[in-house]
A and B are shown apart, each in its own frame.
Chain A
Amino acid sequence: MTNTLTMLEIDRVAKRYGDSLAVADVSFTISKGEFIALMGPSGCGKTTTLRMIAGLDEPTGGEIRLWGRRLNEDAPWKRNAPLVWQNYALFPFLSVRKNIEFGLKQRGMPIRQRREKAFEWMERLGIAAYADRGIDQLSGGQRQRVALARALALEPEMLLLDEPLSALDPHLRVRMQSELVRLHRDLGITFVCVTHSHSEAFAMANRVVLMNEGQVQQIGTPREIHRRAANRFVAEFVGGNNLLSGTAVDAGNGLMRVDGPFGSTLARAPTDRVLQTGAEVTLVIAADCIDMLPARSGTGNEIEARVLTLEFIGSAVTVFLETLGGAELRIQRPLHEIENSPLSPLSPGQTVIARWSEDEGYFLPA
């Protein structure tokens, strides 16, 4: 981050609808120029939080501040925080051009300037050819671009996006994803994007706010969240992690032994708390941190296991193993590595050694 000015503060914000609490107590800050992803399963309060930033919902507790000024009571039309809606919410009776001009017209921009500006954005997003078409004559991807152009034409300092890719087909989604990243880089404005997909959030955002049941679970860079989940929910939600339950045994030297159905493994003892010998613990090892070897090498944690199944996901392969004790391990390796390994061809039933170093695993708070 080149600029770490705090732009938007979400300070202990809550939103109650009757008896249900959509957002319980959420705090985080957004710096100028950041690409923030609000991520979580449906119903976690991420969209409500976004709508409160836009002013479409009023918080029932806490404060939202923009550049230090309380924003809670500002009407939505007084905030310059255009939203790209999940269903686009384009005006069906207006042409593409008039949709994009709408916000500028509200500001009283003269018609000629408005046209020019709308045209600029249509060019930039590659929709100038459809300027005079109606919305119902556009494909999903084209509508998405109109929605983006309509919001960006206002030249806001902050763009809000509500599940911007969810209505697109997978191929288009990936293209739009990199296009959003490029737009963000070129414009230098703040993007706040709601998504339920960790791959989308990780691919686009500088920082991710992971929410569940109306509360923030973890805030961090995609890498931090992927490598050090703050709790069990995060470790499971982002996927690609092995969660091993076992019993802790102090091994000395800053190491902790964990015994379980997978056998016995060593990991660095947490520095932020003391684990008693005999405590029930959960050890997390990311699937991409585990190697597969044909024989023991004598270093790190090594567990003998049998291959259950293989899943090809393009350039990577997910291998499911079963340890002798009956625990399941998931491993993710590049396809090219699997193909060139001495284990190749890998097939179900084969016995391998799963290996990872003591530094790779970490403990979750109970």
Chain B
Amino acid sequence: MNAHHLRRGALFLWTALLLAFIFAPIVSTIIFSFNADRFPSLPWAGFSVRWYEAVFADATILRGLINSLIVAGATAIVASFLGFAAAYVDYRYRFLGKVVYTALIALPPAVPVVILGIAMLTFEGRLGLSGTLTGVAVGHIVLAVPFAMALVRMRLADLDPDIERAAWNLGATPWAAVSGVVIPFCLPAILASIFLTAAVSFDEFMIAWFVSGVNETLPVRVLAMLQGQVSPKINAIGAIVFVVSMSLVVIAQVLIGNRADRSSKRT
């Protein structure tokens, strides 16, 4: 009994330490973003939102934030659409080279981002896309489509193929069956994919750094600032980015979780 308690206590402590190790930098960033002192050091110089004011007064940071939001929004919509289409093709058709097809779509996150970044830069340079927000979005879409496809595929695995055939049997054309049956069924996964791919894009640095040129996204702007001077504004930006990204991921998780709940109740 005692040994059991001891073991439980040790496990609890270990878990707490691990979580502390992971979250300490983030938590300290958020805490020091409210520190009145210029340097992130103790003693605490008093609570202040001046660094947040400074962030929102800095036109380059604002520009970066807006660019990031535009790119994240475009990425989320286009990647989710393409991800759905890719997953549906995988669900619905059998064809030669299907394994290669799905592997190719799933590949980009496995490629080191430096290589993806350089490749995007040279390729988009030829198309005249480098240095534009469109260029950054294209890079992010390539990176995000696999996540969207994975989410929709998971959902489609639960869709009885007879359901779509039943729609045809009731007079629905293939298009009507996709819009009236397949998409509504996949909606939770599609919404989750929109939030998750937005988060992927919002956080992404390497491709954006190679491709963005003067149209910097927020992560690129932050690095540029770090190269100049260490400003406490960085902490404020970090806190904002953390909150935005976490919200997107949590919303995506909740949407996927609801689905799992419902399907487990069904069986």
* A75 pairs with B168, CB closer than 8 A: yes
B168, A89: Cβ atoms closer than 8 Å: no
A237 contacts chain B at the CB level, 8 A cutoff: no
Contact A77–B168 (Cβ < 8 Å): yes
Contact B163 A91 (CB under 8 A): yes
Contact A56 B185 (CB under 8 A): no
Closest to A56 in B: B165
| A77 CB, min distance to chain B CBs, angstroms | 5
Cross-chain contact of B169 among A83, A94, A105, A107 (Cβ < 8 A): A83
- Whether, in the assembled complex, B172 has its beta carbon less than 8 Å from a beta carbon of chain A, the answer is yes
Give residues of chain A (67-84) contacting chain B, Cβ–Cβ below 8 Å: 75-77, 80-83
Q: Is the interface of B mostly helix, strand, loop or mixed?
A: helix
A:41-91 near B, CB below 8 Å: 54-56, 75-77, 80-83, 85, 87, 89-91
Stretch at the interface among B138-146, B173-181, B242-250: B173-181
Which residues of chain B are near A207, meaning CB under 8 Å?
Answer: none
Within 8 A of B (CB), among A92-119: 92-94, 102-103, 105-107
The CA of A103 and the CA of B160, in the complex, are separated in Å by 19
Give Cα A91 to B265, complex, Å: 16
Q: Determine the residue in chain A with the shortest Cβ distance to B158.
A: A92
Nearest Cβ distance between residue B23 and chain A, in whole angstroms?
Answer: 38
A179 at interface, CB cutoff 8 A: no
Report yes or no: A82 in contact with B185, Cβ–Cβ below 8 A. no
Q: B181 — nearest CB in chain A belongs to which residue?
A: A91
Within 8 A of B (CB), among A187-209: none
Contacts A77-B173, A92-B185, A102-B180 given; does A56 touch B168 at CB 8 Å? yes
Q: Across the interface, do B162 and A87 meet the contact criterion of CB distance under 8 Å? A: yes
Q: Which residues of B contact A105 (CB under 8 A)?
A: 180
Q: What CA separation (Å) do A77 and B172 show in the bound complex?
A: 6
Taking CB atoms, residues of chain B closer than 8 Å to A94 are 184
Would you call B166 and A89 a contact (CB within 8 A)? yes
Cβ B171 vs Cβ A154 within 8 A: yes
- Give me 14 A-to-B residue pairs in the complex whose CB atoms sit less than 8 angstroms apart, sorted by A's number: A75-B168, A76-B168, A76-B169, A77-B174, A80-B171, A81-B169, A82-B169, A85-B166, A91-B166, A93-B187, A103-B170, A106-B171, A107-B171, A150-B170
Additional A-B contacts beyond A77-B170, A82-B169, A91-B166 (4; CB < 8 A): A85-B166, A87-B162, A93-B184, A106-B180
